[in-house]
Structure 1
Amino acid sequence: MSLLQCIGWRCGAMALAGAVLLTLAAIEVLSDEPEIALHIGEPYELMRQRSSAVIGPAIPGQVSFNIPKTDARLRFLDPEYGFVTPLASFFTIIYNKEKIISVRMSPQIEPLLLDDTLKVVLDLQDQLRNTGWTAIRLKDYPSFADTPQWRAQLRDVNKGGTSYWHAGNQYQVMLVVGRFKDKKRPTEERYLITLALATPWTNP
């Protein structure tokens, strides 16, 4: 095939086919990851049956929590306000009388470098914005951004950062980022992200 022919529709079709195959491969890899798929307020057992990650049963009539048996991502299934996190090692589902009331997790499987931390947090914020969540209490808790000011604040072990989000009057998310002393990498700046999800517990 000549260079001119390659520029034509044949190579364009080949490139498109290749892109489709790569996208399908990425979706397949993502779908193979263990996940906890839930609604806030739903019966705990429905979450267990739906999720691909293994998690223990609820204790009848109690307020308690369980942790998935493996690293897992969260898929929040609300049809309007849903979002998905990366895989998490720390992941707790809190329930009251066999109904899910909240989630607390770190959407990562190890402490992250600052660039990777910002990538995760900004992606989560973008998902929230794109599905109708609203950042609240911005005067005291501005949304995270990749700016020199935010980087300096996160590097300060005494500061870190927090942002709050509301989905109407139905749900609240809190995102927290802080420095973490990683004993495996004592010379590196590493960070932990905390995500909390529940019905609203603060005013806008």
Structure 2
Amino acid sequence: MVIVILLSLALIKGLPGEPEIALVIGEPYEAMRQRSSATIDPAIPEVVSFNIPKSDARLRFIDPQYGFVTPQARFFTIIFNNELINSVRMSPQIEPLLLDDTLKIVLDLQEQWLQGGWIPIRVKDDPPFADTPQWRAQLRDEYKGGTSYWQAGSQYQLMLVVGRFEDDKRPEEERYLITLAIAKPWVKP
């Protein structure tokens, strides 16, 4: 049992040596490239664009107060404007996951955010995710899914979305896709 728990934590937190992108919103893009162990192309000067790491990588959000770490991601974009990091959009997973595995990742991320001082916002319409029968039923409904918004002081917001995903590799299984977007605040709390 202890080995299973340790392996689960390793999958969520990441193993040492896994490629990672280490960044904070608003910093120079080149500082992120130099600090990160995942390979990513340089920014294009004086434009708004995005780049994708050359391999699967986890995100290490390095703000000293609001930092957190995601599992490895295959879909991972870093958006920049005039060589400054503007936002991140990613799916903190390598492939569509079963519901139990999806909830493990989502609940771990929310716990990291709570511990770091992030506050859930818009909770009346978009409450934080929970492992409850109501949430499971909502996520299983392919037309509903779920969204949760979080804010870190006046510096950052993030949006976490979970939805059913039709996986061509496993058409008989219920699979889920997690989407995470981080930027400076863009919605009213």
TM-score category, normalised to shorter length: over 0.9
- Residue identity matched to 2:124: K
Q: Which residue of 1 aligns with 2:18?
A: 33
Offset of residue 138 of structure 1: 0.5
Q: Deviations over 1:111-135 (max 9, x none)?
A: 0000000000000000000000000
**Secondary structure of the equivalent of 2:78?**
strand
Offset of residue 39 of structure 1: 1.1
Aligned partners of 1:60, 1:170: CA distance in 2, in Å?
Answer: 25
- Residue identity matched to 2:174: E
**Secondary structure of the equivalent of 1:130?**
helix
**Secondary structure of the equivalent of 2:105?**
helix
Do residues 139 (structure 1) and 124 (structure 2) align?
yes
Count of paired positions = 180
Please report the RMSD computed on the Cα atoms of aligned residues, expressed in angstroms: 1.5
Q: Which residue of 2 aligns with 1:43?
A: 28
Aligned partners of 1:91, 1:56: CA distance in 2, in Å?
Answer: 13
Q: Which residue of 1 aligns with 2:72?
A: 87
Q: Deviations over 1:152-197 (max 9, x none)?
A: 0000000000000000110001000000000000000000000000
Q: Which contiguous aligned blocks of 4+ residues in structure 1 show a shift greater than 6 angstroms?
A: none
Q: Percent identity?
A: 76
Offset of residue 97 of structure 1: 0.3
Aligned partners of 2:65, 2:16: CA distance in 1, in Å?
Answer: 21
**Secondary structure of the equivalent of 1:30?**
coil
How does the TM-score come out when normalised to structure 2? 0.93
Aligned partners of 1:92, 1:132: CA distance in 2, in Å?
Answer: 25
Q: Which residue of 1 aligns with 2:58?
A: 73
Do residues 159 (structure 1) and 144 (structure 2) align?
yes
Q: Which residue of 2 aligns with 1:187?
A: 172
**Secondary structure of the equivalent of 1:194?**
strand
Offset of residue 69 of structure 1: 0.1
**Secondary structure of the equivalent of 1:64?**
strand
Match of 1:197 among 167, 171, 182: 182
Query: Unmatched 5+ residue regions in structure 2?
Result: none
**Secondary structure of the equivalent of 1:108?**
coil
- Mapping 1:106-117, distance limit 5 Å: 106-117=91-102
Match of 1:124 among 109, 118, 121: 109
Question: Which structure carries more relative contact order (alpha carbon 8 Å, separation 6+)?
Answer: 2
Aligned partners of 1:30, 1:113: CA distance in 2, in Å?
Answer: 21
Aligned partners of 2:113, 2:160: CA distance in 1, in Å?
Answer: 11
**Secondary structure of the equivalent of 1:128?**
helix
Offset of residue 30 of structure 1: 1.7
**Secondary structure of the equivalent of 1:191?**
strand
- Residue identity matched to 1:86: P
Q: Which has the higher helix share?
A: 1
- Residue identity matched to 1:107: P
Query: Unmatched 5+ residue regions in structure 1?
Result: 1-18
- Residue identity matched to 2:57: A
